[in-house]
């Protein structure tokens, strides 16, 4: 699962959770909040209907959804009836990186219909063992999507030609659909700074890498079609193509799970 470099021309972008794509947390149908609880009270920010509307599907089949751990639930996605909150760890941030993140998030929101909320900066570091519930840091809710400018020293998975890692954990409410939560995007700041400094279209390339990673966060896997942004060995695609958009529209039309 690699978005490969060919002589340094294109950087690798990988799924975060591999080989198991998702962490698993199973909840009872009703989970009242108690001091020391390992989960937030159910229903936080849950609306009665989706907050946005995915665009009409392009009709393309050039997309692959990440494999669901449950055969009876082939598609798992974020709850469209709640906003997807995100925070940015600014350490090692690229000049203008905040703009590229906002643009990438806006592109993913438009393609999926999911509504994103910028919760500002955080001091939380990325981690393979990130907890999905951190009330002391984020309050009594599921943790927001974490976007972090990292380094291979902090994140060994970024070593070599890997430019980014992205994925989500999932939560299972007994008797209800699986829901993605606690996403992370880790970006190799030194490598991406070199792209921006060394190429006329460097900023657009970095934005595309962030978009690719956010596609993984929402549930897209790599495809074999080189015309799509989710192609592992991208050779110049800078925006979501028809297959990417069809997949994101599907992922934005998942079921509401107010019991979460």
pLDDT of residue 249: 97
80 lies in some domain:
yes
Tell me what percent of the chain is helix, strand and coil, each rounded to the nearest 5. 25, 20, 55
pLDDT in tens, 193-218: 998 888 888 999 999 999 999 999 99
51 lies in some domain:
yes
Dist CA 148 CA 185 (whole Å): 6
Dist CA 184 CA 191 (whole Å): 19
CATH number at residue 35: 3.40.390.10
Pairing of strands 84-89, 162-173: unpaired
Residues of the chain predicted below pLDDT 50 = 1-33
Calculate ∠ Cα 70-132-172, nearest 5°.
Answer: 25
Range of the domain at 82: 12-251
49 lies in some domain:
yes
Name the helix (H) or strand (E) containing 108: helix 97-112
Dist CA 25 CA 99 (whole Å): 33
Domain tally, the chain: 1
257 lies in some domain:
no
178 lies in some domain:
yes
182 lies in some domain:
yes
258 lies in some domain:
no
């Amino acid at each position: 699962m690699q978005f490969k470099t060919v002589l340094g021309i294109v950087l690798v972008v990988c799924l975060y959770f591999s080989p198991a794509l998702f962490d698993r947390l199973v909840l009872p149908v009703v989970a009242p909040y108690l001091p020391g609880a390992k989960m937030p009270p159910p229903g936080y920010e849950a609306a009665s209907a989706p907050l946005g509307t995915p665009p009409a599907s392009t009709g393309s089949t050039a997309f692959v959804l990440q494999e669901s751990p449950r055969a009876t639930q082939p598609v798992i996605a974020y709850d469209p009836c709640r906003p997807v909150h995100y925070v940015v760890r600014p350490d090692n941030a690229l000049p203008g990186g905040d703009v590229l993140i906002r643009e990438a998030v806006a592109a993913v929101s438009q393609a999926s219909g999911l509504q994103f909320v910028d919760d500002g900066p955080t001091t939380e570091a990325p981690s393979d063992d990130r907890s999905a519930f951190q009330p002391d840091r984020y309050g009594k809710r599921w943790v927001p999507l974490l976007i972090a400018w990292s380094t291979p020293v902090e994140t060994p998975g970024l070593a070599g030609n890997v430019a980014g890692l992205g994925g989500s954990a999932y939560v299972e409410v007994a008797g209800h659909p699986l829901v993605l939560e606690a996403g992370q995007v880790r970006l190799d700041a030194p490598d991406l700074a070199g792209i921006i400094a060394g190429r006329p279209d460097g900023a657009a390339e970095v934005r595309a890498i962030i978009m690719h990673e956010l596609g993984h966060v929402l549930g897209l896997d790599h495809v074999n079609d080189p015309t799509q942004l989710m192609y592992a060995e991208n050779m110049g695609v800078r925006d979501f193509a028809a297959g990417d958009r069809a997949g994101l529209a599907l992922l934005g039309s998942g079921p509401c799970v107010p019991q979460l």
